[in-house]
Structure 1
Amino acid sequence: MTKVLIVYASDYGNTKKMAEAVASGVTSVPGTEVDVKFAEDVTQDDVIASDAVI
């Protein structure tokens, strides 16, 4: 399974909505797992565990 981490920062929620839309597209690809996280909540382990970071 391919793991994709999508990182965003958003003051008003617009960028979060875009990140969630990207996540929706990524999950339409069979064999992918997506994690959407606010930038301040991302850990080094999150990045290391991911095959791709957006």
Structure 2
Amino acid sequence: MAVTDGHDIEPIDEHEEPAAFVSALRTSPDRIVFTEDGNSEGWIATDYTVSLTQ
């Protein structure tokens, strides 16, 4: 077995969680609330959002 300093080892995430589905709801003309599917207690409200481009 070779000795390594750990820099050449790829990290493994053994606890990979499934992707979360997020909805964006416009609650007023100047406010958007983001909610996670199945988690009504977790939400984020914002007065300013930007569109993402790929």
Q: TM-score higher than 0.5 here? A: no
Bigger relative contact order (CA 8 A; separation at least 6): 1
More helix by share: 1
Which one has a larger percent strand, Structure 1 or Structure 2? 2
The TM-score with structure 2 as length reference comes to 0.23
Q: State the TM-score, normalizing by the size of structure 1.
A: 0.23
Larger Rg: 2
